[in-house]
Amino acid sequence: MKVRLITVSQRQPEWIAAGEREYARRLPREWSFEVVELKPAGRGRNAVAERLRAEEAERIRGAIGKLGRNPRVVALDEVGVGWSSQRLADNLGSWLHDGRDLALVIGGADGLEPALLQAADHRWSLSAATLPHGLVRIVVAEQLYRASTLLAGHPYHRA
């Protein structure tokens, strides 16, 4: 299974990239984890959030399309469902066997387009609080690693 973290963002500070790399290197090789950064829509003086989300959604759909046929899409969304680490591990455990690749999607500064959210297979909320974009990237990578250790029976996760 390919796991892609698709993110609409500017280049992140080195500490964020370092955090992502650290957890990515720990992930199972068969997950083929990759971060795909997409350029945000131009935010000029008269930018309209709806247009920006639509432009970014097209870029996201293009990146999802590169995963092959029928990838599972999980949109990171503050009003999505909060998953415990164990629930994420359970989901990943079942998804590993269905032959579909996985796209985890983080929207830009204005969020994700409503149509893209509706089309997602799942909406995952990390927190009811709004988190900085870079921190979300690190938390997602860490939670993937934590889920992989739960699936492997590794002692990293201590509930």
Q: How far apart are CA 2 and CA 154, in angstroms?
A: 22
Dihedral, 136, 139, 144, 150 alpha carbons, nearest 10: -150
Assess if residue 103 is contained within a domain: yes
Q: Which of 16-25, 111-120, 126-135 is predicted with the least confidence, judged by mean pLDDT?
A: 126-135
Q: How far apart are CA 116 and CA 59, in angstroms?
A: 11
Q: What is the pLDDT of residues 15-72, one digit of tens each?
A: 999 999 999 999 999 999 999 999 999 887 777 989 999 999 999 999 999 988 899 9
| Average pLDDT of span 74-93 | 95
Assess if residue 158 is contained within a domain: no
DSSP state of 8: E
Assess if residue 94 is contained within a domain: yes
| Average pLDDT of span 72-82 | 95
Structure confidence at residue 159 as a pLDDT band (50, 70, 90): low
Domain count, the chain: 1
Q: What is the pLDDT of residues 145-158, one digit of tens each?
A: 999 999 999 888 76
Cα distances from 8 to residues 57, 107, 124, 140, in angstroms, run 9, 5, 17, 15
Assess if residue 159 is contained within a domain: no
Mean pLDDT of the chain, nearest integer: 93
Q: How far apart are CA 57 and CA 131, in angstroms?
A: 20
Assess if residue 143 is contained within a domain: yes
Assess if residue 30 is contained within a domain: yes
Q: What is the CATH number of the domain that holds 105?
A: 3.40.1280.10
Residue 155: what pLDDT?
Answer: 84
**DSSP alpha helices (H): ranges in the chain?**
14-26, 49-65, 85-95, 114-119, 133-152
Asked if pLDDT for residue 94 goes beyond 90, the answer is yes
Residue 130: what pLDDT?
Answer: 86
Per the structure, the complete domain to which residue 134 belongs is given by 3-152
Assess if residue 12 is contained within a domain: yes
Q: How far apart are CA 41 and CA 108, in angstroms?
A: 8
Asked if pLDDT for residue 122 goes beyond 70, the answer is yes
Residue 45: what pLDDT?
Answer: 77
